[in-house]
Amino acid sequence: MMIKVTLPDGTVKEFSKGTSSYQVALSISEGLARNVLAAEVNGEVWDASRPLNTDVSLKLLTWNDDKGKSTFWHSSAHLMAEALEALYPGTKFGIGPSIETGFYYDVDFGDRHFSSDDFKKIEDKILELAKTKSEYIRKEVSKADAIQYFKDKGDEYKLDLIDGLNDGEITFYTQGNFTDLCRGPHIPNTGFIKAVKLMSVAGAYWRGDEKNKQLTRLYAVTYPKQSELTDYLHLLEEAKKRDHRKLGKELELFAFSEKVGMGLPLWLPKGAALRERLVQFLQKAQVKAGYEPVITPHIGHKQLYITSGHYEKYGADAFQPIKTPQEGEEFFLKPMNCPHHCEIYKTKPRSYKDLPVRFAEFGTVYRYEQSGELHGLTRVRGFTQDDAHLFCRPDQVKEEFMKVIDLVLYVFGALGFEDYTAQISLRDPENRTKYIGSDENWALAEQSIIDAAAEKGLKTVVEYGEAAFYGPKLDFMVKDALGRKWQLGTIQVDYNLPERFELEYTGSDNQKHRPVMIHRAPFGSLERFVAVLIEHCAGNFPLWLSPDQYIILPISEKYADYAKSISDSLNNYDIRGLIDNRDEKIGKKIRDAEVKKIPFMLIVGEKEQEDGKVSVRKHGEGDLGSLSLEEFVELMKKETKV
C-alpha cells in the first residue's frame, strides 16, 4: 500500500504506508535527515519518527524553522526535567513549554532550597544526559494507566493535568529514565542538544492562580551548537548595553517622573531636538507625497467615541472621562486620531475627483496600560503617532498602498533599517462572516495590497485570518542590528469607520458612495520608534538626526574665543553642536565626548588657531587630521545626505 507525500515545493513522492518523515528526509539527502527535528504533517507538527499512514502534505522542520526550534526547546525541557529528577529525587513537575527563546519548566522542589548557585550542576547533568542520545519515545496510554503512573510517582500536578484530558487522547513520552505526560512532538533524540544555559529562576503559581502553591520556574535555553549559544549570550550582552532606557538616560534624551505619572515620558532638550528632526523629516516627505497636515484637540466628546465604536469596545479600559463642571458633558482623552479625522473629512462635500484626501497629524494619544505592562518608551500611556488617514475610492487602494510603501521605505532607508519583511494580514477564508464591509471590496483591497507589495518588490509573508474585522493590512517587520524583530509601519484598510461616520463622496455616476479609509503610520509612534532606533544604532544616530553633531574641545581656556567663532560659523551652516569649556585635560574631554556619542570632536589649540583650522576626531573612528572650516562643512554635508 503506497501513500502520496506532497512536499512544500509541490513535488509529490510515493512511499509505502508507515514510512516516517525521517525516512522521507533520508530519501532526499542524508544531510537533511541528520538535521530533521520534526515534521509538519498536514499543518500539524509531528515527531519525525511517527509513521505516515495516509496521503499527506509534509514539511520537514529543521533548526531553521520556528516550529523546529520550538520543538527542540520543548524537548530540552523534558531533558532538563530528567536532569532535575536525577539530581533532586522527588522533584515534582508542572508544565515545561518552549517560549520565544528557550523554554522553562515549573517544578516543585519540596522543602529543598534552590538558587542560581545550582545552575552549573544542572547544566552539566543536562549535557551528560544529552550525550546518551536517548530517543524520545511516544506511547499512547489509557487514562487509568496514566493516573496510576503519576499516583505511584506522587506528582499531583501531572494528575491535575490528566484530570482535564479525555481517555484515548493521552500520550507519554520517555527519554532515558524520564517519562512525562505530553502530547508532543519532540526531536528524535537528546543527542541534538549540544549546548545549554540556565538563564534565570522565578516563582510561578500553579496554573497561574495565587491560591495555588508557588512553584519554581526555571528558564533555560539550548542550542544544537556551542557557538550558537555563545553568539546568543553575546547578543544578550549587547542588547543590555543598547537598552534604550539605559542609553536614554546616558544621552539625556528622555526621563520619567513619578510625580508626572507612570508611563508618561518627558522629552529632555536633546531628545526633543532629535524627535523634532524626525517630525520635520517625515513632514517634508509627506507634503511631497500629497498629505495635508491637520491639527485636532487632545480630547473628544463621548459621543464621538460612541459613533466610532471605541466607547463600547474600550471605554471601560480607557482613562475615565473628564466632565465639564456645569453641563456635566463627558470627554475622553483621545486614544486615536481617526474619529477626529473623519469629522474633518465631513466638513465639506467630496466628489470622486477630490479623492484621495490625506490628512496627516502628529497626534498625541493616551491609552491606559496596566502599570506592570509599562516599559521605557516602548509601552507608555501617552504617545504621539505619526498618523495619517487617507480617504480614497476602492479603485485607488492599490496606488495609495504603493505610495505609502514608498514613504515607509524612504523612512527606513534614511534611518538605516535594511532588513525587513512585509506581513500581509488577510481574512480567514473559512469564516468570512465576521468581517465588516462587502465581499467585493474586501477581495479588491486584499488583491490591491498583494499586488502593491509585489510591484514594490517587498519580501512578503501572507497571514490568513490575521486581518482586523474592519479591513486587511500590511505591517512592516523590521530586523534591527541585533537581529531582533520589531513591528514598525502599519498600513491598515478600514471599512468600519467610513460606515459609522457615514462618510460619502459623489461618484462619476452622481450617486453617493462610501470612501475607503486607510490608516497608516510609518514610525508607529515617535516614542516606540525612537526606542527601537536607539537600540538599533546603539545611540549612534545618523548624523542628520544627532542632537549634537559636533563638540568643540579647546585645549585650554586661551582658545575659548576661537572655539566660539567656529561654533558661530557652523551655526550659519545649520550645523549644531557644543563647546566643552570645562577646565579639564583634553584627554578627559575626548573621553566624555565619546561616552556621549557625539559624532565629531573638533580640537582647537594654538596650532589650529594659527592655521585657522580644527583637528577633527570622529566618534568611534579616531583622528581625521586637521581641516579648514570649509573642509569640515563639506564633510558634514556629505555625511548628512539622507
Residues that bind Zn ion (CB under 5 A): 182, 338, 519
Which one, 21 or 496, has the nearer CB to Zn ion?
Answer: 496
Which one, 100 or 621, has the nearer CB to Zn ion?
Answer: 100
Q: Which one is catalytic: 182, 338, 392, 537? A: 338
Which one, 182 or 424, has the nearer CB to Zn ion?
Answer: 182
Q: Which one is catalytic: 125, 473, 520, 528? A: 473
Which one, 158 or 519, has the nearer CB to Zn ion?
Answer: 519
Q: Which one is catalytic: 175, 286, 385, 423? A: 385
Q: Is 148 a catalytic residue?
A: no
| Bridge pairing between strands 357-366 and 512-513 | unpaired
Q: In angstroms, rounded to a whole number, what is the distance separating the alpha carbons of residues 144 and 97?
A: 25
Q: Which one is catalytic: 47, 387, 475, 548? A: 387
Strand ranges in 522-612 using DSSP code E only, listed in sequence order: 550-554, 577-579, 600-604
We find the least distance from the C-beta atom of residue 125 to Zn ion, in angstroms, to be: 19
We find the least distance from the C-beta atom of residue 97 to Zn ion, in angstroms, to be: 9
Which one, 242 or 519, has the nearer CB to Zn ion?
Answer: 519
| Contact (Cβ atoms closer than 8 angstroms) between residue 617 and residue 553 | no
CB count within 10 Å of CB 613 equals: 19
We find the least distance from the C-beta atom of residue 129 to Zn ion, in angstroms, to be: 15
| Contact (Cβ atoms closer than 8 angstroms) between residue 340 and residue 365 | no
Helices (H), 244-348: 244-250, 269-288, 302-308, 310-314, 338-345
We find the least distance from the C-beta atom of residue 560 to Zn ion, in angstroms, to be: 52
- Of all residues in this chain, which one has the CB nearest to Zn ion in the complex? 182
Q: Is 303 a catalytic residue?
A: no
* Residue 141: all three cell numbers together: 496510554
Q: Which one is catalytic: 186, 244, 275, 367? A: 367
* Residue 348: all three cell numbers together: 465639506
Q: Which one is catalytic: 242, 358, 389, 514? A: 389
We find the least distance from the C-beta atom of residue 476 to Zn ion, in angstroms, to be: 17
Q: Is 338 a catalytic residue?
A: yes
Q: In angstroms, rounded to a whole number, what is the distance separating the alpha carbons of residues 581 and 590?
A: 12
Q: Is 389 a catalytic residue?
A: yes
Q: Is 342 a catalytic residue?
A: no
Q: Is 387 a catalytic residue?
A: yes
We find the least distance from the C-beta atom of residue 572 to Zn ion, in angstroms, to be: 41
DSSP-derived 3-state class of residue 365: strand
Helices (H), 111-225: 119-130, 143-153, 156-163
We find the least distance from the C-beta atom of residue 146 to Zn ion, in angstroms, to be: 14
Which one, 435 or 559, has the nearer CB to Zn ion?
Answer: 435
CA-derived radius of gyration, the chain: 30
Which residues lie closer than 8 Å to 140 by C-beta, 6 or more apart? Answer: 170, 171
Q: Which of 359, 346, 352 is nearest to 389 (CA)?
A: 359
Which residues lie closer than 8 Å to 402 by C-beta, 6 or more apart? Answer: 452, 455, 456
Q: In angstroms, rounded to a whole number, what is the distance separating the alpha carbons of residues 413 and 180?
A: 50
Which one, 427 or 519, has the nearer CB to Zn ion?
Answer: 519
Q: Is 511 a catalytic residue?
A: no
Asked whether the CA dihedral 294, 299, 302, 306 is positive or negative, the reply is positive
Residues annotated as catalytic are 338, 367, 385, 387, 389, 473, 519
